[in-house]
């Protein structure tokens, strides 16, 4: 059975299942936008396989991380730009 992973999104404590990607965890929490376009429109995961870069978030102060390519881990700090 997958373990619960505790981490933060924009400073709020949340949990996800072990083995989920950050993008999937965001979607399960009802967070559909992970960043904003240059014109300010909210953007969110599109391809789910690392190609479109629409799922970029900041993780542990590292910007431009593709949320669909990173599994959640205990204590990580995710910051969305949306
Ligand atoms: S959803 Fe397309 S790169 Fe992550």
Residue 31 lies in domain? 4-79
Which ligand 1 atom sits closest to the C-alpha of 67? 4
Return the CATH number at 8. Answer: 3.10.20.30
Span 7-19, average pLDDT: 97
Q: What is the pTM of this model?
A: 0.93
CB 67 within 8 A of CB 55: yes
Span 11-37, average pLDDT: 96
Q: Ligand 1, from 21, 25, 45, 81: best to mutate by most atoms within 8 Å of Cβ?
A: 45
What is the reported pLDDT for 82?
75
Q: Ligand 1, from 22, 33, 68, 80: best to mutate by most atoms within 8 Å of Cβ?
A: 68
Give the confidence band of 2 by pLDDT, cuts at 50, 70, 90. confident
| Number of domains into which the chain is organized | 1
Q: Where are the beta strands (DSSP E) in 3-72?
A: 4-9, 12-17, 35-36, 42-43, 56-59, 62-66
What is the reported pLDDT for 59?
98
Please work out whether the CB of residue 26 comes within 6 Å of at least one atom of ligand 1: no
Which tens digits make up the pLDDT trace of 27-66?
999 999 999 999 999 999 999 999 999 999 999 999 999 9
């Amino acid at each position: 059975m997958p373990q619960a992973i505790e981490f933060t999104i924009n400073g709020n404590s949340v949990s996800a299942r072990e083995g989920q990607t950050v993008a999937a965890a965001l979607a399960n929490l009802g967070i559909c936008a992970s960043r904003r376009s240059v014109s300010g429109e909210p953007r969110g995961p599109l391809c789910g396989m690392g190609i479109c870069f629409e799922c970029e978030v900041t993780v542990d102060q590292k910007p431009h991380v593709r949320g669909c390519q990173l599994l959640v881990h205990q204590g990580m700090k995710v910051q969305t730009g949306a």
